[in-house]
Amino acid sequence: MYTTEMSKNPARPAAPSEAPELVAAFEARVANDEFIEPKDWMPEAYRKTLVRQISQHAHSEVVGMLPEGNWISRAPSLRRKAVLLAKVQDEGGHGLYLYSAAETLGTSRDQMIEALHTGKAKYSTIFNYPTLTWADIGAIGWLVDGAAIMNQVPLQRTSYGPYARAMVRVCKEESFHQRQGFEITMKLAAGTPEQKAMAQDALNRWWWPSIMMFGPPDDNSPNTAQSVRWRIKRETNDELRQKFVDVTVPQAEAIGLTVPDPDLKWNEERGHYDYGAIDWDEFWAVVKGEGPVAKERVKARIDAWEKGAWVREAALAHAAKQASRRQKEAANG
């Protein structure tokens, strides 16, 4: 769902123990737009940055199941219920491919999950906001998945092969989600006065968190330069944010909703919308885990994991028993 690097600690340059010719060959391959594959040599900092970014992305998919899952039981029609459930299921599927992509870098899914639960690993700040009405389900699809697509389309050409390939599949599904979300919002905006007010209220609450999803501005984004050079990232946070604003504002206008930014106006000279100042204090507070429902989100993940421990243990124990039975049979046969 989302991939912006949020750690404030910049990745270190090549470790002194890394042979300069290996580093140079690696940099040349990346500069030449070749894919790096799991068995290829790579600098340790590249590996670490990727594990952090991919696992953060995987966690975002899985935590992202919670705010939308909150409305599965209350979806207002059978069709909406099926579409929402399928969507949340897709997010879980994205989590699975992304954990698998990260595992090719030598970190296990259990280790990554442990890092999420202890607060060491981050996930997208956007999921620390609550879904209060049905219109929030529209807004998440339209804005949050819309923002995610802006981030993810370039990642289909990211330098790490397994990540790039996972993103191809993820992007197809996300663009479908974005259209579904917009369709929910459009229907509300054209509905009863209460429905239209619900849609406007959702846009008011989700707009700023959505444009914060692209991460800190370029002049305060410590990892951007290195990540762009390594083709882990292909466009800067501000470039992507601008693209999102330019695409989304006319969509809001088309369905009669107002973007909650008094400073928003079309700049003829730049050929882009100018938008108002973003509250970065809010952003960093939410990154630190101070978002309105951050505690609920992490607790829900920890509860699911802990309550499910006996099931995972049972599956392993049964598989081991079966394997030993097969061995015995083979020995006796």
Partner 1 sequence: MTIPTLTSKDAHFDYVLRLGDDALILAQRLGEWCGHAPALETDLSLANIALDLIGQATMFLGYAGELEGKGNDADKLAFHRDVNQFRNCLLVEQPNGDFGRTIARQYIFSTWQYLLYQQLARSTDPRLAEIAAKALKETTYHAELAAEWVVRLGDGTAESHERVKDGFEWCWRFVDELFSVQPLDPSIVTSGVAVDTATLRAAFDSALATTFAEATLPLPKFPRPVLGGRKGHHSEHLGHLLSDMQFLPRAYPDAVW
User: Is residue 225 part of the contact set for partner 1 (CB under 8 A)?
Assistant: no
Measured distance CA(142)–CA(254) in Å, rounded: 14
Cα dihedral 98, 104, 106, 109 in deg (nearest 10)? 30
Scanning 31-39, 75-83, 156-164, 244-252 for contacts with partner 1 by CB under 8 A, the matching segment is: 75-83
Closest CA to 212 of 136, 294, 147, 264: 147
| The two structure tokens encoding residue 112 | 């990554």
Q: How far is the CB of 250 from partner 1 (least distance, A)?
A: 25
Q: How far is the CB of 316 from partner 1 (least distance, A)?
A: 8
Residues 6 or more apart in contact with residue 78 via CB below 8 angstroms: none
Residues 6 or more apart in contact with residue 67 via CB below 8 angstroms: 127, 129, 130, 131, 136, 140, 293, 297
Q: Which of 92, 106, 119, 292 binds partner 1 (CB under 8 A)?
A: 92
Q: Which of 85, 255, 278, 285 binds partner 1 (CB under 8 A)?
A: 85
Q: Is residue 155 within 8 Å of residue 164, measured between CB atoms? A: yes
Cα dihedral 148, 277, 121, 31 in deg (nearest 10)? 60
User: Is residue 111 part of the contact set for partner 1 (CB under 8 A)?
Assistant: no
Comparing CB distances to partner 1, the nearer of 23 and 293 is 293
User: Is residue 302 part of the contact set for partner 1 (CB under 8 A)?
Assistant: no
**Distance from the Cα of residue 158 to its chain's centroid:** 15
Q: Which of 62, 112, 199, 213 binds partner 1 (CB under 8 A)?
A: 62
Q: How many residues bind partner 1 (CB under 8 A)?
A: 48
Q: Which of 6, 26, 95, 152 binds partner 1 (CB under 8 A)?
A: 95
Scanning 47-55, 161-169, 185-193, 204-212 for contacts with partner 1 by CB under 8 A, the matching segment is: 185-193
Scanning 11-19, 21-29, 61-69, 147-155 for contacts with partner 1 by CB under 8 A, the matching segment is: 61-69
User: Is residue 179 part of the contact set for partner 1 (CB under 8 A)?
Assistant: no
Scanning 15-23, 65-73, 254-262, 279-287 for contacts with partner 1 by CB under 8 A, the matching segment is: 65-73
Q: Is residue 200 within 8 Å of residue 192, measured between CB atoms? A: no
User: Is residue 307 part of the contact set for partner 1 (CB under 8 A)?
Assistant: yes
User: Is residue 247 part of the contact set for partner 1 (CB under 8 A)?
Assistant: no
| The two structure tokens encoding residue 80 | 């909406």
C-alpha distances (whole Å) from 224 to each of 25, 214, 221, 233, 308 are: 22, 12, 6, 7, 38
Measured distance CA(5)–CA(296) in Å, rounded: 23
User: Is residue 254 part of the contact set for partner 1 (CB under 8 A)?
Assistant: no
- Judged by the rule CB under 8 A, the positions of this chain that interact with partner 1 are 62, 65-66, 69, 72-82, 85-86, 88-89, 92-93, 95-96, 99, 134, 184, 187-188, 191-192, 194-195, 300, 303-304, 307-318, 321
